[in-house]
Amino acid sequence: MASKEQLLQKERAKTLGELFVAECRADQPNYDTLRTMCLNGADVCYKHAAALHWAAKLNRFSLVSFLVDNGALNEPVSRSIIANMCNNKGFCDENEPEFFEVIDAVRRKTGDADTDIFVPYINSMAVQGKLEKLRALMKRYYLTEAEVANAVFIRIIFEVILNAHDEMLEFINKHVNWQNETALDLAVSGGDWVVLEYLINSGKVKAEPSEKAVSQAIFTGATEVLDILLHCGYNFGHNMQFLKKACRAAFNDGGRMLRYMLEHGYKATDVYDGNTARENARIDGNTAAMAVFDGKTE
């Protein structure tokens, strides 16, 4: 059992922590007050760096630097909070000099030159097609083109394609061999038909997605994706798991995907889970699927 003194110390630490976070959230934080709290044992990392979280969220760059200097990086999540400041609401080009000053403070404090802290910024600039920003980043921090290009997530590359940022896409393709089966499955399962067309037209990826990816496309009603796959010779027919997905989707889409399946060779009499598709719809109380089957008598 904890002693009375230990309980008092715990309560004191909690009170100091709450006051510290509250001061960081104030409209005009008092740095003298914060320094005094630190000298008196306030935990800068209280509640998983709550103070840093609010300072970053409110785009208070000087306060973030103060917290870094006073030990905020001892909390593992702090580095991620700082790296993602570039994605905060209200962050704009004018904030970049202050943002990079914070990054510099982190690098000085840790003494490392890891590129992970730049990843959110790199992806943010990539999705906006701001290649000049990435070149400025490379120049400032002596990063190579390959390091920057490899930091761009596949989903962000998809957005680059959708937004027609051709120069950015060319830059990425110069250094990253991302066009593969994984990207194909992501495009199919996500219903990203523009990306799917790009992948197939590039000639690097065949239209051979996994069954799981096609099932997800069916469930979400991505008919454009399925049309492209069929046009490229994908064998879509007589997979009862596909039919089952379409039937389940009818609960949400009113039977739209199921009608598509029937138009492409599937039947109400096809069997999965030991019953015909129509019988399964009746058992499940799937009125939308029943309506489709009743309008498609075999």
Tell me the pLDDT tens digit for each residue of 233-287. 999 888 999 999 999 999 999 999 999 999 999 999 999 999 999 999 999 999 9
Residues 6+ apart with CB under 8 A from 195: 158, 161, 162, 183, 187
Q: What is the mean pLDDT of the chain?
A: 94
Beta bridge partners of 276: 271
pLDDT category of residue 111 using cuts at 50, 70 and 90: confident
pTM over 0.75: yes
Return d(Cα 54, Cα 243) in angstroms, integer: 49
H-helix or E-strand spanning residue 272: strand 271-272
Q: Which tokens belong to 287?
A: 């009125």
Q: What is the pLDDT of residue 298?
A: 43
pLDDT category of residue 297 using cuts at 50, 70 and 90: very low
Q: What is the pLDDT of residue 132?
A: 98
